[in-house]
Amino acid sequence: MSKGTLYLLPITMGEYNMENTIPRGVQELMDSVDIFVVENLKTTRRYLRKVNSTYPIDDKEFFNIDKRTSRKELSQFIHQHKDKTIGVMSEAGCPGIADPGADVVEIAHELKLAVKPLVGPSSILLALIASGKNGQNFTFNGYLPKDRSDRIKTLKNLERLSRSGNTQIFMETPFRNNHMIEDILTHCDNSMKLCIAANITLSNEKICNKTINEWKKESPDYHKDYCIFVL
């Protein structure tokens, strides 16, 4: 029995601009996948049809992972198919960063499957390099606390770390961006540079890096945009 492979399959960020974000070889490789372990079944099926309108979706098996999927259930599923070619796919970008993909990868390593990460869009990485900030030392913090006083405390800590040379990256849910920006502008130093990378890889992409002082002059509105903040 041949050894199985787990491919970490990237997916576009909301528009179907495969030509600019998914290498051709990675698109073609999806033909060889037997089983898709995915965050969102509908997104995956629609994407597969866009990559290749004759993609044999009905010949493939799909496993949907969500918050209710137990580690044991996932482990059993991968174990049953450990001689197959499995593809893990998140809802946007590269799997395994802010989604359940990492669990699938960890199980694959335990079962000694070959783990193959594939090149695709990552808003975190693209925001970092587009910020012009120090890329030799950086931290991704995911979402900051929802509670306002906790969030402000966290922001002040991130500002301190950034000043010491460790670039700080974080995100916010699109409909809370303006609150986040307000907190940053109110509580970080005027001389601090903030990069807001919005809608990365999409047609309305907008990346600005300027001082808090400059941001204050223009009442920025990022309501409902997909933003990555780099401090």
The reply to whether 8 sits near a copy of itself by the rule CB under 8 A is yes
Q: Nearer Cβ to a copy of itself, position 110 or 221? A: 110
Interface residue with a copy of itself among 32, 52, 119, 182 (CB under 8 A) is 119
The reply to whether 19 sits near a copy of itself by the rule CB under 8 A is yes
Token code pair at residue 60 = 């493939």
In terms of Cβ atoms closer than 10 Å to its own Cβ (0-12, 13-18, 19+), residue 72 is: exposed
The reply to whether 142 sits near a copy of itself by the rule CB under 8 A is yes
Q: Measured between alpha carbons, how far is 135 from 3 in angstroms, rounded to an integer? A: 37
Q: Nearer Cβ to a copy of itself, position 188 or 197? A: 197
The reply to whether 120 sits near a copy of itself by the rule CB under 8 A is yes
Q: Measured between alpha carbons, how far is 210 from 146 in angstroms, rounded to an integer? A: 25
The reply to whether 162 sits near a copy of itself by the rule CB under 8 A is no
Instruction: For 168-206, give the secondary structure using H, E and C.
Output: EEEECCHHHHHHHHHHHHHHCCCCCEEEEEECCCCCCCE
The reply to whether 30 sits near a copy of itself by the rule CB under 8 A is no
Q: Minimum CB separation from a copy of itself for residue 58, in Å?
A: 27
The reply to whether 199 sits near a copy of itself by the rule CB under 8 A is no
177 in Cβ contact with 227 (< 8 Å): yes
Site for a copy of itself in 88-117 (CB under 8 A): 94-98, 101-109, 115-117
Bridge partners, 227 (sequence order): 198
- Total binding residues toward a copy of itself, as defined by CB under 8 A: 61
The reply to whether 51 sits near a copy of itself by the rule CB under 8 A is no
Q: Measured between alpha carbons, how far is 110 from 53 in angstroms, rounded to an integer? A: 35
Interface residue with a copy of itself among 4, 5, 11, 21 (CB under 8 A) is 21
Interface residue with a copy of itself among 23, 57, 61, 147 (CB under 8 A) is 23
Q: Measured between alpha carbons, how far is 152 from 188 in angstroms, rounded to an integer? A: 9
The reply to whether 57 sits near a copy of itself by the rule CB under 8 A is no
The reply to whether 145 sits near a copy of itself by the rule CB under 8 A is no
Tell me which stretch binds a copy of itself (CB under 8 A): 30-38, 147-155, 180-188, 206-214: 206-214
- Nearest CA-CA partner of 60 in 35, 83, 38, 78: 35
C-alpha to C-alpha distances, 163 to 73, 159, 181, nearest whole angstrom: 44, 6, 19
Q: Terminal CA-to-CA distance of the chain, rounded, Å?
A: 50
Which residues are at the interface with a copy of itself (CB under 8 A)?
8, 17-26, 94-98, 101-109, 115-122, 124-142, 166, 195, 200-201, 205, 207-210
